[in-house]
Chains A and B, each alone.
Chain A
């Protein structure tokens, strides 16, 4: 094989025909297991003797290092490995290491919180299911029917995994039952399903040699009798030995829609007939609805079930909670910017991507920020962030920031020329400013979160917290959306509202990990109390006077539309209903309340802050590239405009047209685009040869050489799944791809 351009001697041809090997360049040769298969892909015959891995030989070759004294954990190793140095390699190792350290401390905190949220989210469901399974035993109405829990998980199968994991934990604890999880893919037929049930229930490492079809006998009972491993009798014997008071087995069908109905029928029938000896309970994860599921079962099977339905907390709600704790919460070291958040949330809504993808995305944003942004080092705590650590490059980088420019310009506008000049010229001054910014950032975040918390606790804003948060980051926050709501409140509602606000201030928000801030908000609290008292007093006064309820100038009832018919003409006029003194005072109090809240609920857009680049991450592109790949576009671009990747001059001339200098596959792909659903290879070849052959303008390949290239291109087209063989006509291939 032409190995000429491969400058890497290790990468030998041998490697390509070994199916797998353990990579170890230092051993000279790759340390490979002795029975490595050198099967060339052409041969389809099975290599027969491939199972016996000789252990000693592998040992001899030094495959697995023996390091008993090495007790370092993997994470510790990872932690020591710093990020690559930025600033074109000029960043100091310490700074890079510190970035890594900040990441390593920041993420686990968040990760723990997220896990906690997820665990909490399913708790009610878990409790319900456990108690159902527990109580089903004593339920006399059940008869011999199998207790069946139908868990409506919704279409989001990605989140089911977590739920069933938790279920298995919770049920194991609550009922001492043995929990078996079945997935349709893992249990294609009755035998496989039973094997899995028995294996998991007995929690025995299966030692059956050979393939799944071989039936082995396992000793489960006390008397050493052997049972086939799909014989429920074996399970029965096993449970008998265990001396468990309850011989329960809970079988969970995770994706019950994916099971064949006949398999379900058979399984349930079997379980039912064993019900007297082994207490089976079943759980079904249902993505659609119980009715649809029942329609798939035979009536006789359905009659064997004794069911209850459980709802799972919807993914939306879980998402909100995760969002609150991981993104908006005070624990989050890094603030994700509005653009990124918007696209993350949209993806969750549009593509039902699952909560785990969402979490991964957050994590990836953290990774990107600390990996690629040298200024992320500023997020380190004060002890580790020393002045020495900040290199001239850091200072330089700060001065190129957009927010720096905005900050200086603002200073100039505000006639703080000295400040501006020092910022630009004096490194020490700038560093001090940077340190100050840390506090400002904290203040900003506190203000933002408190405002948000107050706003949401008023219960007057429609829309979800996530949207509100994103909007606040993007465009700032004020009271505007709620002002109308507040003004329209009646005299009874306002004190209630104020009470809610007071509680909010006192308790903070555990979701956001926001502590109460009673101490800092004394002024606000006292003003709120004053207003509340005043209004209550007014209401009392009004009642004494016999007035029904306080009205303010804002409430709808105060404006009366009068219709007067004068000389057969209708006159409309608006009249302000007569307001009593109390009403007027009430109006004033509401005005005062609005003023007060406007004063306290506000927030700026995140990008208005100096140095926000260090602690806010708002790049959407890496996220999109990494999580939502568009391979079609990528392939299309590579094949139609190869110079976009190669950057060669020869092909950029041929922009959009065919040219002999294009890589063969690209030429063939262009020709392929022109063809119908059947491709005549002979014509394809003649077209290709006309382009690159001796007679062509800029070709000049001999026929055989061109044919070699042609073969190559065609084989690659096949590899990429563009063509497949067709029997319709001789020398024709079928086109299989239209939409890239």
Chain B
């Protein structure tokens, strides 16, 4: 706690007991110096309020509201130091000069609160492992609450709030109200009657106006959430809780201190990691699923489509199922075998529906060339082919489609789904697919679902998805660490080939400089560029080279003669996203390349050759 705060709070602490005495039942204790205003108001309003004066300030927000009204309408209030220019401060935009009462309060609020917020995550994590010290937390909360009350009042008195302060205000309010919640628990019983009475007594117009600024009816005040998430909320409540504006405060920690994995490191570590302790159990689970192969095969033969869902990669299961189908279809020699099994890896991003159709048609009759065109027309042609081939040789196609709902796969598109449903509704084509996301039923409406005719099976395997996923790229993409580059090293070569000689030379120059910077900085972690080092390292990219320096070198090497030309060349690189540029805090521009050192080296080699 910053000591500055202590001094402002000091007289609160002293005065508090005396304030509390007259209003013992009121949990919505308002910090003191401002109490003067409400109480004055209370006195003023007493007759018309029907004898429940203390309840006027049932919620802090409300209190704040009528505080404003008071300031506007009752300027003759004597004592408060905060009401110097009261009438102008209503709802008040733009910010007026700071009021005398809170000279130090405002600036310190953000830092103090942010500090507290940063501390919060560890607390949460402790909570998970069951360590929680409610006593200490309670104390901390209480003082935090006082501070936040201060902050709230300050805000009101100041009138305007700039945007970035808004969040702090939010937190302040939350802290304040959360402690209310706790206190309220004790006094809840007696309060209830009072509140009801108060509710009845409040004139509707008043509450209406009060609510205008985001306040809620007094009765609902206790539902206000605390900054630490309440446990055991139903999922939908949790959604609204977590998505309300300003609630998603997270720490500012980044992964900058952590050296992210490269593909090479990932795979070498993975190899050394040894066996998963659950290997045996996963195997057992697999074999359990394998026991239902005959059942699935039966379902397929009866015109159902089989859909396997559940956590874990189902690739192996599907593969084993294919083997089972293959062996059970009786084809010990190929002539007997009229069942064609087509495996489709749905997780590949380049899959197109047309290719599936072409494969099927090739499987039915290799001599037939399916005319490409509109997929729907292709399906019709395929069906014609199927029915014509029925006469000579019954064809039965089994499609085994993995990861039907993969977010990367084009199969997920609604049009493709309806085409697929159409395809699978043909009696000679059966479909078994696996899905990986829990919300896959949303892919199909009732019409699609009935033409798919799905039989769903829980097929939780716990097997890892390492085959379907490029883990490192996935994570880096998720973290936004993978600059969208033109297909890696090869892409660069491709881009450069289409560029003029000058541009190639310039790129070679940049690569060389960046590599030098790599050497200077001792690898990726340290970073090369003087002041931008930390930044670049955080970006997961190589070190940067200074723009000005690079320009000078380019001029020296006769790559370009003017900055204009230099810019033009760089723009080409920018367009292909093979370089990135940053400005550091003093405005120096740095250029860097979104590649790893090894890649840069090979690019340079290629350029030189």
Contacts and interface: CB of A to CB of B under 8 A. Distances in A.
Interface in A1-32: 1-2, 4-6, 8, 10-11, 13, 15-26, 30
A62 B362 CA distance: 11
Contact of A205 (B243, B367, B371, B446): B371
B266 A45 contact: no
B446 A157 contact: yes
B299 A367 contact: yes
A40 interface: yes
B392 interface: yes
A719 B436 contact: yes
Contact of B438 (A18, A207, A740): A740
B312 A731 contact: no
B466 A629 contact: no
B428 interface: yes
Given A635-B310, A658-B128, A712-B466, A15 B343 contact: yes
A647 B284 contact: yes
Interface range on chain A (Cβ under 8 Å from partner): 35 or more
A1 B428 CA distance: 37
Nearest to A727: B480
A43 interface: yes
Contact of B238 (A199, A658, A678, A738): A738
B393 A70 contact: yes
A677 interface: yes
Interface residues of B, number: 154
B499 interface: no
A733 to B, nearest CB: 6
B469 A44 contact: no
A354 B446 CA distance: 7
A210 B414 CA distance: 22
Interface in A639-670: 639, 642, 645-648, 650-651, 657-658, 661, 663, 665, 670
B359 A674 contact: no
Contact of A8 (B319, B394, B455): B319
B447 A160 contact: yes
28 contacts: A20-B355, A22-B340, A24-B341, A25-B326, A39-B348, A70-B336, A74-B338, A77-B329, A158-B450, A183-B418, A206-B374, A208-B373, A353-B450, A356-B450, A371-B295, A647-B284, A650-B277, A651-B278, A657-B129, A674-B124, A680-B253, A681-B255, A685-B258, A704-B269, A729-B250, A731-B253, A731-B479, A738-B238
Q: Which 9 pairs from chain A and chain B are nearest by CB? A: A629-B456, A646-B281, A715-B474, A638-B311, A23-B341, A739-B235, A682-B253, A738-B239, A20-B344
Contacts of A15: 319, 343, 345
B520 to A, nearest CB: 25
A556 interface: no
Nearest to A160: B447
Nearest to A716: B465
Contacts of B272: 705
A55 B366 contact: yes
Given A158-B447, A716-B469, A720-B436, A731 B393 contact: no
Given A645-B462, A646-B282, A680-B250, A67 B446 contact: no
B10 interface: no
Contacts of A24: 326, 341
Interface string A59-87: 10011111110111110011001011000
Interface stretch (B16-24, B178-186, B212-220, B376-384): B376-384
A716 B284 CA distance: 22
B315 interface: yes
Interface in B419-458: 428, 435-441, 445-447, 449-451, 453-458
Pick the most buried of B265, B338, B445, B488: most chain A CB atoms within 10 A of its CB.
B338
Contacts of B501: none
Given A715-B471, A719-B468, A63 B335 contact: no
Nearest to B417: A185
Nearest to A51: B372
Given A21-B342, A707-B258, A212 B374 contact: yes
Contacts of B251: 680, 682-683
Interface string A195-238: 11001000001111111100000000000000000000000000
A578 to B, nearest CB: 63
A455 B243 CA distance: 58
Contacts of A13: 467
Given A674-B229, A715-B474, A357 B350 contact: no
A11 B316 contact: yes
A23 B298 CA distance: 19
Interface string B330-361: 11001111101111110111110001101100
Pick the most buried of B331, B418, B464: most chain A CB atoms within 10 A of its CB.
B464
B313 to A, nearest CB: 9
A13 B121 CA distance: 41
B359 A33 contact: yes
B132 interface: no
Interface string A167-186: 00000000000000001011
B608 interface: no
A35 to B, nearest CB: 10
A70 B338 contact: yes
Contacts of B438: 631-632, 634-635, 720-721, 737, 740
B441 A44 contact: no
Given A646-B462, A711-B475, A212 B373 contact: yes
Contacts of A25: 323, 326
Contact of B467 (A1, A64, A634): A1
Given A20-B359, A371-B298, A629 B266 contact: no
Contact of B236 (A16, A711, A738): A738
B309 interface: yes
Nearest to A702: B269
A690 interface: yes
B328 interface: yes
Given A15-B345, A635-B438, 8 more contacts: A41-B347, A44-B487, A211-B372, A626-B455, A677-B247, A682-B253, A720-B437, A730-B480
Contacts of B348: 17, 19, 37, 39, 41
Interface in B89-145: 121, 124-125, 128-130
B609 interface: no
Contacts of B307: 629
Interface string B460-489: 101011111111111101111000000110
Contact of B242 (A353, A676, A716): A676
B301 interface: yes
B303 to A, nearest CB: 8
Contacts of B265: 704
A715 B469 contact: yes
Contacts of A196: 376
A65 B130 CA distance: 64
B358 to A, nearest CB: 6
Contacts of A638: 310-312, 460, 462
A735 to B, nearest CB: 7
A639 B437 CA distance: 13
B468 A19 contact: no
A209 B254 contact: no
Contact of B351 (A19, A40, A55, A209): A19
A501 interface: no
A387 interface: no
A714 interface: yes
A43 B275 CA distance: 30
B400 A23 contact: yes
Given A634-B460, A711-B472, A58 B362 contact: yes
Nearest to B427: A74
Contacts of A412: none
Contact of A354 (B285, B435, B436, B450): B450
B261 interface: yes
B482 to A, nearest CB: 10
A718 interface: yes
Contact of B374 (A11, A195, A711, A740): A195
